[in-house]
Amino acid sequence: MAKPRVVLGVSGGIAAYKACELLRRFTESGYEVRVVPTAAALHFVGEATWAALSGNPVSTRVWDDAHEVPHVAIGRHADLVVVAPATADTLARAAHGLADDLLTNTLLTATCPVVFAPAMHTEMWEHPATRDNVATLRARGCVVIEPAVGRLTGADTGKGRLPDPDEIFEVARRVLARGPAEPDLAGRHVVVSAGGTREPLDPVRYLGNRSSGKQGYALARTAVARGARVTLVAANTALADPAGADVVTAGTAEQLREAVLKAAADADAVVMAAAVADFRPAVYAAGKIKKRDGEEPEPLALVRNPDILAELAAHRPRPGQLVVGFAAETDDVLSNGRAKLARKGCDLLVVNEVGEHKAFGSEENAAVILGADGSEVAVPYGPKEALADQVWDLVAARLT
């Protein structure tokens, strides 16, 4: 089979050096990559580096190999165009259809999906002109990844950092897998919870569960690739932040509830994939609970945690908001799932069987997605991103 053809556009920002790692991810994963840097990008990383890492000649000007008409051919023959980093200047020129170098010509001739990974100072990202340009590109079907929060040039810190190259690659891979389909979640804000809450017993111990957060993170990454603005509320995970998602951390069920309700205020859909503790200790011990010779421990009294899913479903902060829950069951999976769907009042419930080597911590999952309308969609065992895509298919159809 022919290798997927990717054009990697690199514009002139200090984050250009990170694009080298992104390029390596593409080539090592079997993609054919053509690098198109701007003149400014070559001040940060030289042409020889791009050529050596890609194994292909590097085009920088419309006049290079003019007989091959590169300003038309490169974009026309691509399966995917990724611009990383995308500076404020590149976003502006792309939004306004300017074509004064090879990269912007390529963007004008590309008929394939286009992904922009912006990187710039916070003030530039938040400027109304940049926000308008981003909105224009998204309205045309481009995927513009939200930048990360972190260290910028010099001592500055804020939103505008290029996301981790591995995470940009994951978004690009998902966009390429979807092919020419329009980003069906463009213009939507979705909230996803992930991981497992922990309820402290004392300064050392807690009540927790085995959720790794991988399914929630797959939901977040897939939503970004489909054009959504994503808020990920993550509870006690050890995973890299998905590119393009605004990540809010939480520890306990109460903290997760507060974060989810705040983020859900303007959300089109909320997907509760986190494993939230049903109970918490009635009393928190300020000091470590000691083991005493010859004495049995005191019985542990528990109290109920708030039911976040039921609360969301019953009190939706905006009309038409969709609420999706997850149900981890160990027996009578479907009957318990149907009962939970009716009890919680959500629109969709993803029911999966859990246990040793099932769901928790693995890269694969299988589930049945139950709808409040009586529908049932079985998702066979496979990558968690496949289940995530199926969830978003059902959400997108209902939002439309």
Catalytic residue list: 209
C-alpha closest to that of 171 among 200, 191, 142: 142
197, 253 contact by CB (below 8 A): yes
150, 184 contact by CB (below 8 A): no
1, 16 contact by CB (below 8 A): no
**Order of strands across the sheet that contains 376-383:** 245-250, 229-235, 189-195, 269-272, 322-329, 348-353, 364-371, 376-383
Distance CA 285, CA 201 (A): 6
Amino acid identity at 197: T
350, 333 contact by CB (below 8 A): no
CA 44 to centroid of chain Cα atoms = 28
DSSP secondary structure letters along 94-133: HHTT--SSHHHHHHHH--S-EEEEE---HHHHHSHHHHHH
Token reading at 313: 């479903």
Amino acid identity at 38: T
339: which residues sit within 8 A by CB, 6+ positions away? none
Q: Look up residue 267 and give its DSSP letter.
A: -
Helix (H) or strand (E) holding 11: none
